Amino acid sequence: DTGVSQNPRHKITKRGQNVTFRCDPISEHNRLYWYRQTLGQGPEFLTYFQNEAQLEKSRLLSDRFSAERPKGSFSTLEIQRTEQGDSAMYLCASSFQGRGEAFFGQGTRLTVV
């Protein structure tokens, strides 16, 4: 198993554009989590899925953000009408069941110019 994979690793976009990130979890993991990490800070929880069901969304996840996990496999995080404040590292993690250790991907670094 190659671990949690995130693509792209880096994304530069113009303000107002839409962007989509992908996360491929470890294959047998049924839980998938998204976090946002700004420079020099700890990650902040955004949302998580159990299989294909999105079970919780943070208040940080504004209406411009949407996450999906079709068929309970990979997940996508879309940001519409990006703003400069969206510039951050977006981390994905997965775990097997609720009490399994969370394994993190390397993240997607978004820069909005």
Helices and strands, number each (H, E), in the chain: 0, 11
Our finding on whether 27 is near other proteins (CB under 8 A) is no
Least CB distance to other proteins at residue 29 (A): 9
**Cα–Cα dist 107/52, whole Å:** 21
Cβ pair 108, 8 in contact under 8 A: yes
Our finding on whether 77 is near other proteins (CB under 8 A) is no
Over the Cα atoms of the chain, what is R_g?
A: 13
Whichever of 89 and 112 has its CB closer to other proteins, that residue is: 89
Binding residue for other proteins, selected from 40, 63, 71, 85, defined by CB under 8 A:
40
Whichever of 9 and 15 has its CB closer to other proteins, that residue is: 9
